[in-house]
Amino acid sequence: MDYKLLTPGPLTTTKSVKQAMMVDHCTWDLEYKTITQEIRQKLLSLAGVSETEYTTILMQGSGSFGVESVLSSVIGPNDHVLICVNGAYGRRIVSMSERYKLTHTVYEVAEDEIPQATAISEMLEKDPSITAIAMVHSETTSGILNELEEIAKLAEDKGLLFIVDAMSSFGGIPIDVSALSIDFLISSSNKCIQGVPGFSFILAKRDQLEKRRNYARTVSLDLYDQYETMEKDGKWRFTSPTHTVLAFHQALKELDEEGGIYQRYMRYLTNNRLLRQKMEELGYQPFITKHQGPFITSFLYPKQAAFDFDNFYQHLKQNGFVIYPGKISTVDCFRIGNIGDIYPEDIHRLVKVIENYTEVAYAG
Ligand SMILES: *Cc1c(COP(=O)(O)O)cnc(C)c1O
């Protein structure tokens, strides 16, 4: 059965991205290593950062492996990280910090609110031992888009390390990495770049990475070690996900063909606005009312007692769309992503399917 994924990653990829995987590549072959280097270069240029100031490290595993690699490799014994939380991905950073026994403080706000620089500033005043701030940009739990600017400025003014999980936003919205002075930004192959799952990537400020070279607590996720090896000639430490890398290389070309990040952002924004407008016309209320991001939307279960998510899900699947269950801890929601190889005509088609379901399910 053929269907489109309206999930925030893995997401619907193009045929040509899938086609790029039909080659078995050798990992130490020069051609393959060159592809890795091209990807690393391209990610720097997408981020608008210079190669002297920043580098890119590719890391095997899903996005969480990239986040864990950063936390376990760059937070030193004398560091104290302030973690902003407004959803499950922020909480995952907390879990990792607990596991590695990193000195950390949690700043948590409700899932429909964004972390505030003023509150962080107060926490920093009270506790001068804080040396780092970690936060999620697009909190995929709800679809809310956290604001980076003011928090970034605080981090820079106070000389704090700034770590951003931009998993579901990088490539889908302009992020001025250098102006925000982000030290470590993490994203992955299967989100807004529109590749397939298999690795994460980290944009890292070179001087911070160098300074923190001896902090790694694991071998496999040692960010500096991976960097050092990759920097030589594009060779990954340990087996790399070759097919995924080829698909990602193709996906980067297609991002260029689309016109770059801004054009992609405009497409996502159009999809998202259309989706929310049409869903609200059908009576579905979004969970986020302020700071909704352009990537994924959480909708509250409709008031009708008859609403059954599994039934709804199966109906959509049979009609060509797969959506996500909710992840909000306090209310029942389902989520619809609008990233990937998705266009307004897909949203129109989806909304028709939902309209038909709504009519049948709640008739009489
Ligand atoms: C997808 C995602 C991750 C990583 O999740 P994985 O399942 O490990 O790929 C981390 N943070 C955010 C905000 C995400 O959207």
Q: Write the pLDDT tens digit of every residue in 264-312.
A: 999 999 999 999 999 999 999 999 999 999 999 999 999 876 789 999 9
Q: For all residues of the chain together, what is the average pLDDT?
A: 96
Give the pLDDT score at 317.
Answer: 97
Give the pLDDT score at 364.
Answer: 47
Give the pLDDT score at 358.
Answer: 83
Beta-carbon contacts of 43 under 8 Å, excluding residues fewer than 6 positions away, are 56, 201, 203, 252
Superfamily the domain 260-361 falls into:
Aspartate Aminotransferase, domain 1 (3.90.1150.10)
Ligand 1 closest atom vs CA 64: 8
Positions of CATH 3.90.1150.10 in the chain:
260-361
For residue 292, the cross-strand partners are 144
Q: In what order do the strands lie in the sheet with 324-325?
A: 296-300, 333-337, 324-325
Give the pLDDT score at 363.
Answer: 63
Q: How many angstroms separate the alpha carbon of residue 66 from the centre of ligand 1?
A: 9
Helical axes 344-361 vs 261-281, angle rounded to 10°: 20
Whole-number Å distance between alpha carbons of 102 and 252: 35
Domain 15-257 in this protein, CATH class: alpha beta
Q: How many angstroms separate the alpha carbon of residue 139 from the centre of ligand 1?
A: 9
Positions of CATH 3.40.640.10 in the chain:
15-257
Beta-carbon contacts of 228 under 8 Å, excluding residues fewer than 6 positions away, are none
Ligand 1 pocket (Cβ < 6 Å) reads 8-9, 62-64, 89, 136, 138, 140, 165, 167-168, 188
Q: How many angstroms separate the alpha carbon of residue 357 from the centre of ligand 1?
A: 30
With 0-12 / 13-18 / 19 or more C-beta atoms within 10 angstroms meaning exposed / middle / buried, residue 110 is exposed
- Give pLDDT < 70 ranges for the chain: 305, 363-364
Whole-number Å distance between alpha carbons of 271 and 266: 9
Whole-number Å distance between alpha carbons of 338 and 329: 22
Q: How many angstroms separate the alpha carbon of residue 167 from the centre of ligand 1?
A: 6
Whole-number Å distance between alpha carbons of 318 and 364: 24
In DSSP notation, 50-114 reads: -TTTEEEEEEESSHHHHHHHHHHHH--TT--EEEEESSHHHHHHHHHHHHTT--EEEEE--TTS-
pTM across the whole model: 0.97
Closest protein CA for atom 2 of ligand 1: 167
Give the pair of three-digit tokens for residue 232.
């030589």
Give CA separation, 160 vs 61, 155, 338, in Å.
28, 5, 34
Beta-strand relationship, 333-337 and 296-300: antiparallel
Whole-number Å distance between alpha carbons of 252 and 193: 7
